[in-house]
Amino acid sequence: MATQNYYAAVHVRTASGDLATIYHDTSGPVGMPASQVRAAAEKAALRQIPDGTIEGSRVSTDGKHH
């Protein structure tokens, strides 16, 4: 089964007001919806900054199939 690399940058506002960017790289099936990659990345970011709030996120892929 072919896989593809996906990258996400999630911007999280900390409880103290700072803005942090958490990077989440993963691989998955080719053509995985951006919404699915984003949801996983945001969930992982909030595990790292539990009292944070998501300010925004960006998802991309390298376009290569492995």
| Closest C-alpha to 57, from 21, 30, 17 | 21
Q: What is the pTM of this model?
A: 0.87
Which contiguous run of DSSP H or E holds residue 19? strand 19-29
- Sheet arrangement for strand 19-29: 19-29, 3-13, 53-65
pLDDT tens over the chain, length 66 residues: 789 999 999 999 999 999 999 999 999 999 999 999 999 999 999 999 999 999 999 999 987 776
Tokens of residue 66, six digits: 């492995």
Tokens of 30: 């080719």
* pLDDT given for residue 50 in this prediction: 96
Question: Apex CA 53: angle with CA 49 and CA 55, to 5°?
Answer: 115
